[in-house]
Amino acid sequence: MADYVYGPGRNHLFVPGPVNIPEQVIRAMNRQNEDYRSPAVPALTKTLLEDVKQIFKTTTGTPFLFPTTDRVFSLLWIDQQQRLNFNVDVVESDWGYGADLAALDYKLRQDPSHSIKAICIVHNETATGVTNDLSAVRKILDKHRHPALLLVDGVSSICALDFRMDEWGVDVALTGSQKALSLPTGLGIVCASPKALEASKTAKSVRVFFDWKDYLKFYKMGTYWPYTPSIQLLYGLRTALDLIFEEGLDNVIKRHNRLGTATRLAVEAWGLKNCTQKEEWFSDTVTAVVVPPYIDSAEIVKHAWKRYNLSLGLGLNKVAGKVFRIGHLGNLNELQLMGALSGVEMVLKDIGYPVKLGSGVAAAAAYLSNSTPLIPSRI
């Protein structure tokens, strides 16, 4: 029975990361290890570092590929910085709301001595499906002529949502391989502006594994890696980037907008509410769905997996038991999403929620049938 653990067919993975891995990427990673100091791997790494800049939309940033994973969301980021003895001023927002820009404006106005060294913000909060307006954050910094660095967690946004590192004056941005890039977990991808690199030279924070200085030294040597990388992930990243560039990054972003909009229309047709409180904050990579008080959202997730081999995201922290999450990011198309939405409807029916079967699917289908473009290579 060990081989039957997933049942017939395939698992329908609709959590907000890790995501489905394209067959082309799986095939690219199906290879033996190589000597990472041989001429081949540095040559591959050089092209990856140059091409990774495109997903951040930067020409001036310096990228770093860390053999690691992400562990950065708003609450976790606060915890990490406090453990490292940074003086962290937490700006709270209610769950389902975006960053409090008025509070940020006030704090910068009250800081003429520029004691604030960095603004840290999550671009897309996967727990609640909230996307923050980074351009507005940059405008506030510029209004006060404040030199604080702008540090952005783009783990569930970069390669799926509009992200403009240079235009928005982002100083450090990071993402993870298992999100919109549609790779296995294992690569942390960081890009740093010239301003951030300069600041790192005098920063007194403790750094070892993630010290940019070590990487920059090996960049100059042309070998690129101070630590052993995953050869398989490097070849997988090469193929993942090729797939994104073949589709066109702007088209990838538009596709995610279609999938996000279709999901929100389905939720509305089910008579349920989005955890995100305003349309301006809606996420195109994950939708957190609020359930009625008499339903434990964890039961929805459990039942979906047990009966339909459908993986949905649990509610986290303050919204545990109150929401379930539908991830719609990565290498994903309209019909895959429609299958997941039909599965969610069946689960809702099974657990006693009075959903009209076909209601959400019909709303999503009506939208997608009018908005999905022809595949360019098949025109």
Tokens standing for residue 266: 């389905």
The domain that contains 354 carries what CATH number? 3.90.1150.10
Asked if residue 77 has pLDDT above 90, the reply is no
> Of 208, 228, 246, which closes a domain?
246
Sequence letter at residue 367: Y
Indicate if 254 and 240 belong to the same structural domain. Answer: no
Residues 33 and 153 in one domain: yes
**CA atoms of 165 and 172, how far apart (whole Å):** 8
Tell whether 214 and 255 lie within a shared domain: no
Give the pLDDT confidence of 172-205 residue by residue, as tens digits: 999 999 999 999 999 999 999 999 999 999 988 8
Predicted local confidence at residue 195, as pLDDT: 98
Helix (H) or strand (E) holding 142: helix 134-143
Q: What pLDDT is recorded for position 29?
A: 98
From 123, 111, 190, select the one nearest 154 (Cα to Cα).
123
User: Could you tell me if residue 104 is inside a domain?
Assistant: yes
User: Does 378 reside within a domain?
Assistant: no
pLDDT range class, residue 4, cuts 50, 70, 90: low
pLDDT band at 72 (very low <50, low <70, confident <90, very high): very low
Residue 13 phi/psi, 5° resolution? -95, 105
Q: Which of 49-58, 143-152, 204-213 has the lowest mean pLDDT?
A: 204-213
Phi, psi of 309 (to 5 degrees): 55, 40
SS3 269: helix
Q: Work out the angle at residue 54's Cα, subtended by the Cα atoms of residues 213 and 327, and round it to the nearest 5 degrees.
A: 100
Is residue 52 included in any domain, yes or no? yes
Residue 1 has pLDDT above 60, yes or no: no
342 falls within a domain: yes
pLDDT at 6 (0 to 100): 65
Average confidence (pLDDT) over 372-376 = 94
User: What is the predicted pLDDT for the residue at 2?
Assistant: 52
| 204 shares its domain with 304 | no
The pLDDT, as a whole number, for residue 343 is 98
DSSP assignment letter at 292: P
Task: Tell whether 233 and 254 lie within a shared domain.
Answer: no
- Report, as an integer, the average pLDDT of 89-97: 86
Tokens of 193: 């502006």
The answer to whether residues 174 and 304 belong to one domain is no
Task: Indicate if 80 and 48 belong to the same structural domain.
Answer: yes
Q: What pLDDT digit, counting tens, does each position of 118-163 carry?
A: 999 999 999 999 999 999 999 999 999 999 999 999 999 999 999 9
Is there a domain that residue 228 lies in? yes
Sign of the C-alpha dihedral computed for residues 324, 327, 328 and 334 taken in this order: negative
Domain tally, the chain: 2
The CATH number of the domain holding residue 199 is 3.40.640.10
**Other CB atoms within 10 A of residue 166 CB:** 14
Both 234 and 364 in a single domain? no
Report the C-alpha gap between 267 and 276 in whole angstroms: 12
Domain residues for the domain of 270 are 12-19+249-373
Q: What is the pLDDT of residue 89?
A: 77
Is residue 4 one of the residues assigned to a domain?
Answer: no
Q: How much is the pLDDT for 68?
A: 78
Residue 87 has pLDDT above 80, yes or no: no
Same structural domain for residues 193 and 57? yes
Is residue 47 in some structural domain? yes
Asked whether residue 325 is marked as a ligand-binding residue, the answer is yes
273 and 362 fall within a common domain? yes
In order of 69, 96, 241, 292, the CA distances from 273 in angstroms are: 32, 11, 35, 9
Instruction: Compute how many other C-beta atoms are within 10 angstroms of the C-beta atom of residue 335.
Output: 11
Checking if the pLDDT of 71 tops 70, the result is: no
pLDDT at 213 over 60: yes
Q: Within 13 Å, how many C-alpha atoms sit on residue 101's CB side?
A: 13
Residue 75 pLDDT level (bands cut at 50, 70, 90):
low
Please check the confidence at residue 108 and state whether its pLDDT lies above 80. Answer: yes
Of 227, 246, 265, the last residue of a domain is 246
Q: How many CA atoms lie within 13 A of 26 on its CB side?
A: 6
Task: Return phi, psi of residue 131, to 5°.
Answer: -110, 125
For residues 235 and 263, membership in a common domain is answered with no
Q: What is the pLDDT of residues 324-371, one digit of tens each?
A: 999 999 999 999 999 999 999 999 999 999 999 999 999 999 999 999
Residue at a domain's end among 185, 219, 246? 246
Q: Are residues 148 and 224 in the same domain?
A: yes
pTM for the model:
0.94
Give pLDDT tens digits for 229-265: 999 999 999 999 999 999 999 999 999 999 999 999 9
What are 256-295's pLDDT values in tens digits?
999 999 999 999 999 999 999 999 999 999 999 999 999 9
Task: Evaluate whether residue 298 is within a structural domain.
Answer: yes
